């Protein structure tokens, strides 16, 4: 129910955006994330972007995962 999936923002018009999810285009509301820019990934939940994905933090988490894996190898 609280499912949200990453969607790539292709264009922004007012409170709406065109996004791509797994190669499929969709029109969504960005009323909850007015700061969205083209090229951002957002978390898409029931037709609304509920947050912008932080690319830097995503990279940091992957780095942490690899470090933890290294340590246990």
Partner 1 sequence: MRYVDEYRDPELGKRLVDRIHKLSTRPARIMEFCGGHTVTIFKHGIRQLLPPTVEMLSGPGCPVCVTANAELDKAIALAKEPGVILATFGDMLKVPGSRSSLQQAKAEGGDIRVVYSTRDALAMARDNPDKRVVFLGIGFETTAPTVAASVLQAEAEAIHNYFVLPLHKLCPPVIKALLDSGEVRLDGLICPGHVSAVIGSRPWGFIPTGYGIGCVVSGFEPLDILLSVEMLVAQVERGEPKVEIAYRRGVKPEGNPQALRLMATVFEESQATWRGIGTVPQSGLKLREKYRSFDAEAQFQIDPGPTLEPAGCLCGDILRAVKTPLDCKLFRRVCTPEHPVGPCMVSSEGSCAAYYQYGADHE
Q: Which residues bind partner 1 (CB under 8 A)?
A: 1-6, 8, 21-22, 29, 31-34, 41, 43, 45-48, 50-51, 53-55, 57-58, 60-62, 64-66, 68-73
Q: Which is nearer to partner 1, 1 or 37 (CB)?
A: 1
Q: Which is nearer to partner 1, 11 or 35 (CB)?
A: 35
> Is the separation of the CB atoms in 25 and 10 below 8 Å?
yes
SS3 35: coil
Minimum CB separation of residue 34 from partner 1 in Å reads: 6
């Amino acid at each position: 129910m609280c499912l949200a999936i990453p969607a790539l923002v292709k264009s922004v018009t007012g409170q709406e955006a065109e996004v791509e999810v797994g190669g499929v285009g969709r029109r969504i509301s960005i009323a909850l994330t007015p700061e969205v820019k083209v090229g951002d990934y957002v978390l898409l939940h029931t037709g609304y972007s509920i947050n912008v994905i932080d690319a830097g933090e995503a990279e940091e988490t992957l780095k942490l995962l690899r470090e933890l894996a290294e340590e246990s190898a």
